Amino acid sequence: MENLANITLFILQGAVITLKIYFVTIIFSIPLGMLCAMGKLTKIPPLRWILGVYTWVFRGTPLLLQLLFVYFGLPYLGLELSREMAAYVTFVINYAAYFTEIFRAGIQSIDRGQYEAAKALGMNFRMTMRRIIIPQAIKVILPPTGNEAVTLVKDTALASVIALAEILRNAKSMVSRNASIEGYIIAAILYLMMTFVIINIFKHIEKRFAYYQ
């Protein structure tokens, strides 16, 4: 039993890194995704083109490849990042690309009549987006955003490829050291607990916005 407690404690130490990656990604990628979505909706062709290439590249290539490129490839270009910083940068940029398309689609799903009504009331573009469009778009984007939030929990395991001591890497270390599968079971339980919490948080948020139905 003491051995199991030690394994659990060691894997929980990895959970700290996992949670740091998770929250840094959520905190920075969602606002960045919203800004990029607004940029893709502007009437500035060069900006739309740049953002289109950005979302195409980061949604069209594996997150694992991006992580390896940032940590192992950028030093060849003169930019060397720590393991944690490489993970933060990669995850934020990658998930912001997905959120960009989610937010853009959500905003564009709102009927054009809403814009015309706001214009008739004398609202400018910023007021229209803040008071009319975005509150309605939030309800549309919540389900896919929740799916991405759950996927992110599992994707944090990819950080193990750059020797970042998160949940999966610590679990694998315990399995190799003790020649038993307890480490994998504990890691699975931790991932399930985190996804359970996130799913229920988004269910609660969706209920709060149900009045738009």
How far apart CA 159 and CA 167 sit, in angstroms, is 10
> How far is CA 72 from each of CA 57, 63, 68, 163, rounded to the nearest angstrom?
19, 14, 6, 12
Q: How confident is the model at residue 15 (pLDDT cuts 50, 70, 90)?
A: very high
CB 87 within 8 A of CB 162: yes
Q: Which residues of 133-167 are buried (b: 16+ CB within 10 A; e: fewer)?
A: bbebbbbbbbebbbebbbebbebbbbbbebebbbb
* Averaged pLDDT of the chain: 90
Most confident stretch, 3-7, 93-97, 105-109, 125-129: 93-97
How far apart CA 100 and CA 144 sit, in angstroms, is 12
pLDDT tens-place string over residues 107-159: 888 887 777 777 777 777 777 777 777 778 888 899 999 999 999 999 999 99
Instruction: For residue 57, give the CATH number of its domain.
Output: 1.10.3720.10
Considering only CA atoms, give the Rg of the chain: 21
pLDDT tens-place string over residues 41-65: 888 999 999 999 999 999 999 999 9
Structural domain including 56 reads 2-212
Tell me, yes or no, if the pTM score tops 0.75.
yes
Which residues contact residue 87 at a Cβ distance below 8 angstroms, ignoring those fewer than 6 apart? 21, 67, 71, 159, 162, 164
Domain count, the chain: 1
The reported pLDDT for the residue numbered 2 is 47
The reported pLDDT for the residue numbered 211 is 56
